[in-house]
Copies of this chain bind each other. A is one copy, B any other.
Amino acid sequence: MLLRLMHEADDAPYLAPPSRRTQTSITGIPAPSAASMPHGQIIHQEISPTLERREVLKGSRLSDTYVRLKHPEQDFFRKQAADELEAVAPAPEPRTGAERVWRRARITLFGEPLTTAQQIHERLTKVKALAVLSSDAISSVAYATEASLAILITAGLGVLHFNPWIAAAIAALMLIVGASYYQTIHAYPQGGGSYIVARSNLGDWPGLVAAAALLIDYVLTVSVSVSAGVDAIVSLNTTMLSKWAVPLGVVFIIFIMVVNLRGIRESGTIFAAPTYVFIGAFLVMIVTGIIHAALMPGGLFTPIPPHIHPFGQPLGWAPEKLSLLLVLTAFASGCSAMTGVEAISNGVPAFQAPESKNAARTLIWMIAVLVSLFLGTTYLAWRFGIEPFSGGEPTLTSQIARLLFGGSVFTNWFYYVIQFATMLILILAANTSYADFPRLASILAHDGWLPKGFSFRGNRLAFSAGIIVLTVLATLLMVVFSGNTEELINLYALGVFTAFTLSQSGMVIHWWRLRAVQSNGWQRSMVINGIGALTTGLVAIVIMITKFDRGAWIVVLLVPLLVVMFRGISRHYRVVAQQITQLDTLPAAAMRHQALAPISRMDRVAERTLGYARSLGLPVTVVHVTTEQEDDGNFREAFHRWAHEVEIAERGKSWGGRPPAPIPQLVVIRSPYRSLVGPFLEYVRQRRRAYPDGIVTVFLPEYVPAHLWERALHNETALRLKLALYSMRGVVVTNVPYHLGRDEEPESEVELQRRRQRRRPVITDDEEAPAAE
């Protein structure tokens, strides 16, 4: 129809050239000034794909015809090229009050939408980078010592003095891993996440295993950090706060989610503070503790909870319960201190130039801080004979801080500083997962291993899907484990060390491949990464064995499941791409159509549907499925009366060269089992079988009420039909809506249609002569 009109317009005598750009330009002979615009009747109008409207108007004299060009409304689209528009907003201005409120709420919560061009790649100074990238690693000091002690204590209090040895082993491990990543930073200045390093050096499978392990780990980082952060707060007043632990944790997670959906661009500046406060406060605490321990070896402090052993008291020894397995288990728990060490090597591109060098320096600082704080905390806990509470509250560090600062009114405030700094850095650590998880998911989605949705950036440029999935999973873990940090840690670390191992092994291969290019130095690098890979691999095995029955089996089960899922998704996308990207370029008009319309009652909704179908030139079969016997006659009568009236109304008319579609045919299907959907589906199937190469179009009449609540009262059958027809091959479903009582568009289609009918004779169409009216 549009084409025909355009064709006519081309024939019209006074035509504006289509390239005019004025908002409303009039061209014609006699050329009128802007003031003397013709106000004649619009003979016809047309709209181009780029929304320019062209109206042909009748002038004051009989022979005059004018053409008016209208450009699209500039409030939303801006024309960029002959066939291109640009949207100046994510969505048009809201029209109804509810839409406005909803939009206002969204903007308040998440901020104004950002364009892709507004993306900022902030470069981090070393000071900021240490704060942002190492909060995950450093914050683990707050729970790692305690996690290790919580295992040892099961063999009796006396065993706790073993802990410093375990801590020393973990510190050595930190140095080894640090040295390994020092190399990765230099080798992968574009960012060497475990997935990338493992995949590029070892292949798809190891890469995917690393990715799966990391995804699990990021979820656990959120759960563990938030639950440890909550522990720090709950420790302030255990009796009052402990029952609020889980709700508080969920609130924290949702808060972090909202912040991340807003997209944090001030990350460096704002988030530097808690990390340095935490480092400072812990250093002060450790130094104070060491001084106290050195000066006064004999029972200065009165422990606040009654069952904490006053230090200096000889510790018991319970050799019969201590086993190698237990020590290894405690070691495995302590290894949770190492989570997040890889963050700097992932984030090399975010550093100021020279990126690698700055990143390497920052790594060294991070390892130094981590080792000092971890060893310091462990020493104090050992020296003061502090034992962990089951349930984790009050925390070990809270006990130490209260012991050191809680006794005096002058120092008590510092206890609060420590607790709040602990909470903040832990929430910051959870926040780093909110950067890492969505980014890794988007990389995986981009590589086709995850659904495409993970690679879409939302209104605020954040990877919304990843952020939401992470929130749901972390909250689930939080609730299932009742926010118990100790139990969550049992699942932790296995993923990290798996990723460490794969990443370091990848680096070994990397150096081996480079041996031709880089003749000297590759051996040393390979040895360092080799030691890293061996050590972390060994630790991963230790963690898996010792923690298997405490929860690590979940991770052992999940990693292969995830890998299988990745590959399944990837295979699916590849198969689909193979099958659908190759075009056929078939002449389309050769399709054989059958048109069906399930009609339950001859009303305006039905009439509109049939009118629409017929206006496409299709001969429609009306399918009336009836459950009651007595209704048949009524419907048949109503249908034939309508058909007869339409026939009379159309007699003798011709429709602009297009053959009029025949009056629909009727078939009544009696359904004695009262099922409406089943018989109709089977009818469609049998009609399709007649021409297996054709297309059956089902025109579904749908009454659309003005209010949402009213929708429950209509279209239930239409919805079920739609769902069932969706999976039928060669069946196109066309929803023909009939709207009623909407305020913005007061005229019903039928009324407008009728008005247009009245206007019609003005068009000088040689086929539709005015005489016909």
Contact = CB atoms under 8 A, between A and B. Distances in A.
7 contacts: A77-B669, A77-B686, A572-B710, A588-B615, A589-B615, A590-B760, A729-B737
B588 A690 contact: no
**Highest count of chain B CB atoms <10 Å: which of A80, A459, A584, A649:** A584
B691 A47 contact: yes
Given A92-B685, A116-B672, A587 B87 contact: no
Contacts of A452: 713
Contact of A116 (B451, B627, B682): B627
Nearest to A755: B693
A693 B589 contact: no
A493 B646 CA distance: 58
Interface in A41-69: 45-47, 49-51, 53
Contact of A85 (B90, B668, B685): B668
Contacts of A683: 51, 77, 85
A529 B591 CA distance: 73
Interface string A719-748: 000000011011111111111111001010
Given A87-B679, A589-B660, 20 more contacts: A45-B690, A47-B687, A50-B667, A53-B690, A83-B665, A86-B672, A87-B671, A459-B675, A576-B740, A580-B604, A586-B607, A590-B760, A591-B612, A592-B756, A593-B616, A730-B745, A730-B749, A733-B735, A734-B734, A735-B735
A560 interface: no
Interface in A573-631: 573, 575-576, 579-594, 602-605, 607, 610-612, 614-619, 621, 627-629
Interface string A741-773: 110010101101111110010000000000000
Nearest to A690: B47
A713 B458 contact: no
A87 B682 contact: yes
Contact of A693 (B453, B670, B704, B756): B756
Contacts of A271: none
Interface in A625-667: 627-629, 632, 636, 642, 645-646, 649-650, 653, 655, 657-662, 665-667
Interface residues of A, number: 152
A678 interface: yes
A582 B610 CA distance: 15
A115 B702 CA distance: 28
Contacts of A47: 594, 687, 690-691
Given A703-B576, A735-B732, A678 B593 contact: no
Q: 3 shortest A-B CB distances, which residue pairs?
A: A588-B611, A91-B678, A90-B673
Contact of A583 (B603, B659, B737): B603
B662 A3 contact: yes
Contacts of A670: 80, 84-87
A750 B591 CA distance: 11
A216 to B, nearest CB: 20
B740 A89 contact: no
Given A619-B1, A673-B115, A589 B726 contact: no
Nearest to A660: B589
Contacts of A760: 590
Given A587-B646, A588-B610, A736 B732 contact: yes
A116 B587 contact: no
Contacts of A677: 91
Contacts of A655: 589-590
B590 A76 contact: no
A113 interface: yes
A749 B693 contact: yes
A692 interface: yes
Nearest to A682: B92
